[in-house]
Amino acid sequence: MFDMTVGTRFDCRMRHRFVVAEADVDGRQAEGDTVLEKTTMDQSSGSQVLEQRILRFAPGRSLERGEEGRDELLYVVSGSGTLEVDGQPHRLEPDTGAYVRSGERWSVEHDGADELLMVAVAVPAEEDPPEDRRFVVRFDEQPELRADDKRTFRYLVNQDAGCVDATQFVGVVQPCRAPDHSHAYDEVGYIVEGTGFAHVDGESIPLAAGSCFHLPPEQVHCIENAGPGVMRILGVFHPSGDPASRAYQDTDDNTVAIRAS
């Protein structure tokens, strides 16, 4: 893919220690299922706690699935349908987050003509949610919060939805490069929209829509939006917290410690 505005070729068909292009990952599909599943981040790629999968649903009803011992935080990139969790239906649309608990069985009825694209992240199930937990959270219904003058974010599934173990959010980044920084939490992410670079471990790795990344705790990094428009990033991290928190951050003059909130 070539971006004429910035004059840089973004070749994202690569596998890297921290970044992988979904297009380069082999998929698998169970007999009779509507889902092509790709595991993009797991223990084999260095993500010891979080597992990220890309799920592509064809029209129709999928087979039931579910995790034991891990919760699943789901995010709809495109397409629409109905999520059924233990027999209860919940409407899915683009920019919808969903929260499925350990042991719950779920399936998707995809009623569109094209595929439904979903990002699923399995996280440790450590604490029970309240009985009135939310199953789905929509981006447009959440308040916009500011990380800095170039970055905003909205929580999807977090403690407000009843998930106290992990946080799912969507960040919106204007064209810029942030200072290098690190977080205290373990994070996996997915580029929903935009082009840029992940600056990590001395490398600048191209990013585009469909790029997946893993950032271990305390890993110094920077996500740069090098495109003409916004970059939208889905992030899931454990333990739960604030996407704007920093373990430390570089300034123009030196590196200063910042207490994570």
Residue 204 — φ and ψ, nearest 5°? -115, 105
Question: How far apart (Å, rounded) are the C-alpha atoms in residues 97 and 26?
Answer: 25
* 38 pLDDT higher than 70: yes
Enter the tokens of residue 118. 């979903």
> Do 212 and 40 form a contact (C-beta atoms < 8 A)?
yes
* Region(s) of the chain under CATH 2.60.120.10: 2-18+141-257, 25-138
Any idea which of 52-56, 86-90, 243-247 has the lowest mean pLDDT?
A: 243-247
Look at residues 258, 219, 214 and name the one whose alpha carbon lies nearest to residue 237: 214
Look at residues 160, 191, 187, 244 and name the one whose alpha carbon lies nearest to residue 21: 191
Between residues 252 and 42, the one the model is more confident about = 42
Look at residues 107, 45, 114 and name the one whose alpha carbon lies nearest to residue 78: 114
Q: What is the pLDDT of residue 247?
A: 60
Q: What is the pLDDT of residue 63?
A: 98
Task: Provide the β-strand partners of residue 167.
Answer: 237
Confidence of residue 258 (pLDDT cuts 50, 70, 90): very low
Q: Is 89 exposed, middle or buried (0-12, 13-18, 19+ CB in 10 A)?
A: exposed
Q: What is the CATH number of domain 25-138?
A: 2.60.120.10
Between residues 251 and 122, the one the model is more confident about = 122
What's the chain's average pLDDT?
Answer: 89
CATH H-level, domain 2-18+141-257: superfamily:
Jelly Rolls (2.60.120.10)
Question: How far apart (Å, rounded) are the C-alpha atoms in residues 167 and 104?
Answer: 19
DSSP code per residue over 12-66: ---B-SSEEEGGGSPPB--TT-SEEEEEEESGGGT-SS-EEEEEEEPSEEPPPB-
- What pTM was computed for the model? 0.89
Question: How far apart (Å, rounded) are the C-alpha atoms in residues 152 and 132?
Answer: 28
* 7 pLDDT higher than 50: no
Question: How far apart (Å, rounded) are the C-alpha atoms in residues 43 and 88?
Answer: 32
Look at residues 244, 113, 223 and name the one whose alpha carbon lies nearest to residue 173: 223
Q: What is the pLDDT of residue 119?
A: 98
> Do 230 and 193 form a contact (C-beta atoms < 8 A)?
yes
Secondary structure of residue 94 in the 3-state scheme: coil
Question: How far apart (Å, rounded) are the C-alpha atoms in residues 220 and 237?
Answer: 15
Confidence of residue 244 (pLDDT cuts 50, 70, 90): confident
Between residues 256 and 252, the one the model is more confident about = 252
pLDDT digits (tens, 9 = 90+) for 156-193: 999 999 999 999 999 999 999 988 999 899 999 999 99
CA angle at residue 189 from 144 to 137, to 5 degrees? 45
Between residues 5 and 167, the one the model is more confident about = 167
Length of the chain: 261
